[in-house]
Amino acid sequence: MLEQIKILKSEVEEQVSSINDLVGLENFRLEYLVKKGKIQNLFELMKQAPAQEKPIIGKELNVLRKFAESKYDEFKAQFEDNRKTQPSIDLTLPGRLSNIGSAHPVYQVMDDMLTIFTEMGFAVAEGPDVEDGLHNFDSLNFPPDHPARDMQDTFFVNVNNSNENSENSENFVLRTHTSPVQVRVMKGMKPPIRSVMPGRVYRNEAINARSLAEFHQIEGLYIDKNVSFAELKATMMTFAKKMYGENSKFRFRPSFFPFTEPSAEMDITCFLCGGKGCRVCKYSGWLEIAGCGMVHPNVLRSGGINPEEFSGYAFGFGIERVTLLKTGIDDIRLLYENDTRLLNQF
């Protein structure tokens, strides 16, 4: 029997040295420490041993059981300790990338434009999207019968305000341009004024590759004593070169807006054909990027500014147009389909 105990002891010692996790430890317990386990089996066998050998066998078996139990307790404490200190995640795995959102390309371009203008000394101002007819048209020197006021071009807003009679409520529109903010800025401060005014604008227009019913503009206004057209041109050129690069080519051409006199439009060489003429530029080689001009004296008056004392220039950029030219996208509708394959590129 003593020989059997010796064999089991070396077996237990060997098993102990190979325990390296909780599963191994549990197998060890089932093999040696439970009621039907190998150590208890020998206690059973001891009953058949001669009486004078029993004390010594009992002693040896007890030593073996104590040894196995203490090893079991030792490992258990160690593994449970590890469990507490070791995080349950595998830190060696590569991390999972989360999807990070970013500004829409049109807003990225808007931010770039605002940065350039603020670096040039312009402040940023904003006005309401729902505008009254007075600011959107009248104070900008639109004559009462101007076609832009027409139902075809303008979204009229029914403002159901109990203080408003129905005649008045017809006077509210979704602003068709950011120019009304010029008048609000003039009313709110004294010259010198240097402001850019970004925002959303709305037109009751058919949607196609070139135009949307809802888009964005940045308006600019500069008012001081003796402001000249040369300053307007210099500002526009400085902006455009910063936006499109030193080598891009621009031209100014005479135009008409009720709120400026004289008025001009600024064109950039067509990005698609490089000036040779194509479908996008209607075979002219040029694409319009902004309207501009010297602020009409009537507009200064609407803003509470004396045109005898002050003069100024104004300009208006379509931000989607600037975005298309910058990115080479040739259909404005793509900007608002929210296809992540396109948006992820910016």
> What residue ranges bind ligand DAH (CB under 6 A)?
177, 179, 219, 257, 260, 291-293, 314-316
Question: CB-wise, 65 or 321, nearer to ligand DAH?
Answer: 321
| Distance of closest approach, residue 159 Cβ to ligand DAH, in angstroms | 23
| Distance of closest approach, residue 104 Cβ to ligand DAH, in angstroms | 21
As a whole number of angstroms, the distance between CA 76 and CA 22 comes to 7
| Distance of closest approach, residue 219 Cβ to ligand DAH, in angstroms | 5
Please choose, from the candidates 247, 255, 299, the residue with its C-alpha nearest in 3D space to the C-alpha of residue 275. 247
Sheet architecture: strand order including 193-202: 123-124, 193-202, 214-224, 311-318, 286-295, 260-269, 250-257
| Distance of closest approach, residue 151 Cβ to ligand DAH, in angstroms | 18
Question: CB-wise, 198 or 291, nearer to ligand DAH?
Answer: 291
- 59, HSE (Cβ side, Cα atoms, 13 Å): 4
| Distance of closest approach, residue 132 Cβ to ligand DAH, in angstroms | 16
Task: State the Cα angle at 190 between 184 and 192, rounded to 5°.
Answer: 105
Question: CB-wise, 105 or 180, nearer to ligand DAH?
Answer: 180
Question: CB-wise, 178 or 327, nearer to ligand DAH?
Answer: 178
- Alpha carbon distances (Å) from 144 to 137, 163, 177, 258: 8, 25, 17, 12
Task: State the Cα angle at 266 between 262 and 272, rounded to 5°.
Answer: 160
Question: CB-wise, 58 or 121, nearer to ligand DAH?
Answer: 121
Q: In the block, which residue shows the tokens 């608002």?
A: 336
Residues 290 and 265 sit within 8 Å (Cβ to Cβ): yes
| Distance of closest approach, residue 275 Cβ to ligand DAH, in angstroms | 24
Question: CB-wise, 65 or 216, nearer to ligand DAH?
Answer: 216
